[in-house]
Amino acid sequence: MRLATTLMYAGDPRETADQVAGWERAGLDIVWVAEAYGFDAPTIMGYLAARTERVEIGSAILPIYSRTPALLAQTAAGLDAVSGGRAILGLGASGPQVIEGWHGVPYDRPIARTREIIEICRAAWRREVLEHDGLYPLPLPAGRGTGLGKPLKLLTRPVRDRIPVYVAALGDRNVRMTAELADGWLPFLYAPAHAAGVWGEALAAGREKRPAELAPLEVVAGGLLAIGDDVEGLRDLARPMIALYVGGMGARGRNFYHDLVSRYGYAAEADKIQELYLSGRKAEAAAAVPADLLEQTSLIGTESYVRDRVAAFAESGATVLNVTPVGDDPLRLLSRVKELMS
């Protein structure tokens, strides 16, 4: 497995870049930059490219609704150029809370849109002429077009004509599409013990249709990381985040994270978290997150325990271990888990 970490939304990006440069020297292979409704990811990614030399730099994720496919292709090509071929385009539908509440655009047809974006981006990187006859762009209202539009191809020549595309997916149809078309898969709240039961059939169905020219699907999974004899309590740091996603990222019946945790076997607990969160009782929602779920989705414990967790992620199919170090010395933690992976 390769080693990755995801940068948090908050904090000074310049200080974070200094840290990433040190993590790179410790063996970090990929750094992921998130984008929700804080700073945009490509700005941070470009700055990281200037401050690093080897580490791959990926978006995790750019929402598919906030940019046209052509702009996504341009952005990825630009990042790949300034980084010397180290960019990864991580895409995802996000959720109605962000797409409709922040961006103010409809959240519709996420799987069809993702499929079309991948196809358009790859065509753009090959410098093929783009013909817009699908979902993108949205049709201009009658009388609003200039009549001057014409098919174009990317003006500049990309460093690579095949930039890796990773997709965040949880539902069966989206996971199936990801296994068919994407270079990598970014599951969230991944529990190795449940992965095969929840996603095994969808992954197999997608891989059956996977084009021969694509390499095997990369699977990015992990969680909070802490190593020590008395660190189990640090798992509780994930409670507010899990409560937010399971309870608040979507209305009842439209929350993918609630559905996932239910498929893990925590349906009653997921309902309780959602009920508490949507009623404004966020602290109680966090307290209702099952301790077993925290354990299964993290790498926190003694060194031998963490070594076993690393093996569990690998055995479940993960090819990139994505960890979030918890503690005062993330560099030490990343260095140590890199050693445990070897």
How far is the C-alpha of 279 from the C-alpha of 69, rounded, in Å?
Answer: 37
- State the total domains in the chain: 2
Higher-scoring residue by pLDDT: 23, 145: 23
pTM of the model: 0.94
* Residue 11 banded pLDDT, cuts 50, 70, 90: confident
pLDDT tens sequence across 293-330: 999 999 999 999 999 999 999 999 999 999 999 988 99
> Comparing 82-96, 147-161, 184-198, which segment has the lowest mean pLDDT?
147-161
Tell whether the model's pLDDT for residue 98 goes beyond 80: yes
Cβ proximity of 65 and 105 under 8 Å:
yes
* Domain of residue 95, CATH code: 3.20.20.30
Cβ proximity of 124 and 199 under 8 Å:
no
Handedness of CA 237, 253, 284, 99 (dihedral sign): positive
Residues 294 and 309 in one domain: no
Range of the domain at 321: 2-228+302-341
* Residue 10 banded pLDDT, cuts 50, 70, 90: confident
Residues 193 and 283 in one domain: no
Residues 58 and 111 in one domain: yes
The predicted structure's pLDDT at residue 136: 58
Tell whether the model's pLDDT for residue 290 goes beyond 80: yes
Residues 173 and 190 in one domain: yes
Tell whether the model's pLDDT for residue 150 goes beyond 80: no
Cβ proximity of 76 and 122 under 8 Å:
no
3-state secondary structure of 54: coil
Query: For 264-275, what is the mean pLDDT?
Result: 98
Tell whether the model's pLDDT for residue 139 goes beyond 70: no
Residues 54 and 203 in one domain: yes
Residues 277 and 313 in one domain: no
The predicted structure's pLDDT at residue 140: 43
Using only the alpha carbons of the chain, give its radius of gyration.
20
Cβ proximity of 184 and 220 under 8 Å:
yes
Residues 104 and 244 in one domain: no
The predicted structure's pLDDT at residue 9: 76
Cβ proximity of 300 and 326 under 8 Å:
yes
* Residue 249 banded pLDDT, cuts 50, 70, 90: confident
Residues 110 and 143 in one domain: yes
The predicted structure's pLDDT at residue 149: 66
Residues 122 and 157 in one domain: yes
* Residue 251 banded pLDDT, cuts 50, 70, 90: confident
Cβ proximity of 310 and 321 under 8 Å:
yes
Residues 90 and 13 in one domain: yes
Residues 211 and 325 in one domain: yes
Residues 224 and 236 in one domain: no
Q: Which percentage of the chain shows pLDDT scores above 90?
A: 85
The predicted structure's pLDDT at residue 130: 87
